[in-house]
Amino acid sequence: MSRLRIGTAGIPLAAQPRTSCAGVEKLVELGLDCMELEFVRSVQMQEQTARELRDVCEENQIELTVHAPYYINLNSKDPQKVEASKARILKAARIGWLAGAKSVTFHAAYYHGDDHSVVFEKVKQELVQVRAILDDEGNSICLCPETTGSSSQFGTVTEIVSLALEIPGVYPCIDFSHLHARSLGAMNSYEEFRRVIHLIGDKLGRSALEHLHMHLSGIEYGAKGERKHLTLPESDMNYPAVLQVLADCDVSGWLICESPNLEEDALLLKHEYTKITNIKGGIHNG
């Protein structure tokens, strides 16, 4: 079995003081494995803090991912907003790289009624430029556009995987809860989640499944898709099926829990995943 790391979207709620370094120490205490730096409003972390965080993570064998600000729209009609969007991705990627983060995810764009193929080409064009800037700087953090939870947003599985196929250094971020919400509850079974993982493996190769950035939480949805995150027990999210697929397909990388109770649901996911892999290991050894 490859190692799947499970952790929290941001500093665990029980961590004191409310710093990323204290968050890493709490993760170690809890037995979790990774943390996402939540730059969803803005990137406030300073370079020195990022370097200190990197040292703490390396010392404690905790890995980091990054969520860039929500205010990104690479398909805006306003060229200044597109440039500001790229600047936000770059800033998150730069600080994340200093902190030792493996990947940076973001919601790439809105359709605004445009043909989806046109939006794809626009997003691709802008991400090629972002990737080139980071490569020129020697920054190899993975750029991971995320599957999104509303039909108004760019970010189907096919779109995200196609971007990764066409742009070196771009990889998918699969938010299973968003897939469930975007489909208005339809995508919630073992077979459906397995098809997503198989698509990634078939199109991008085994290495993409060994370094996969993922999100999972409970989720509330309505006629337009995602409304808000919920805890796993209060939602209809079939998280056991997700975990079973990840184990059966030997997926590794980072599974970030975005539930409101953070570490509580992250620990639930780790406990359930450990049970599954122990059973698989016992069957294999037998």
Residue 281 confidence class, pLDDT cut points 50, 70, 90: low
**CATH number of the domain enclosing 124:** 3.20.20.150
Kindly state the average pLDDT of the residues 247-264.
98
Q: What is the largest CA-CA distance in the chain?
A: 61
Phi, psi of 11 (to 5 degrees): -65, 130
3-state SS, residue 193: helix
Decide: residue 151, CB within 10 A, 0-12 exposed, 13-18 middle, 19+ buried.
middle
Number of domains the chain is built from: 1
Higher pLDDT, 191 or 1: 191
Are the beta carbons of 102 and 66 closer than 8 angstroms? no
Query: Does the structure show a pLDDT above 80 at 77?
Result: yes
Query: Does the structure show a pLDDT above 90 at 2?
Result: no
Kindly state the average pLDDT of the residues 263-272.
98
Tokens representing 260? 């409101």
3-state SS, residue 67: strand
Query: Does the structure show a pLDDT above 60 at 286?
Result: no
Are the beta carbons of 154 and 123 closer than 8 angstroms? yes
pLDDT score at 8: 98
CA distance 154 to 132: 22
pLDDT score at 283: 52
pLDDT score at 170: 98
| Preceding peptide of 17 cis, ω within 30° | yes
Are the beta carbons of 200 and 220 closer than 8 angstroms? no
CA distance 63 to 41: 22
Amino acid at 159: E
pLDDT score at 3: 87
3-state SS, residue 49: helix
Query: Does the structure show a pLDDT above 70 at 282?
Result: no
What would you report as the CA-atom Rg of the chain, rounded to the nearest whole angstrom?
18
**How far from the centroid of its chain's Cα atoms is residue 198's Cα?**
18
Structural domain that includes position 139: 4-285
For the chain, give the mean pLDDT. 96
Are the beta carbons of 67 and 108 closer than 8 angstroms? no
Query: Does the structure show a pLDDT above 70 at 26?
Result: yes
pTM value surpassing 0.85: yes
pLDDT score at 285: 44
Tokens 């965080």, residue? 53
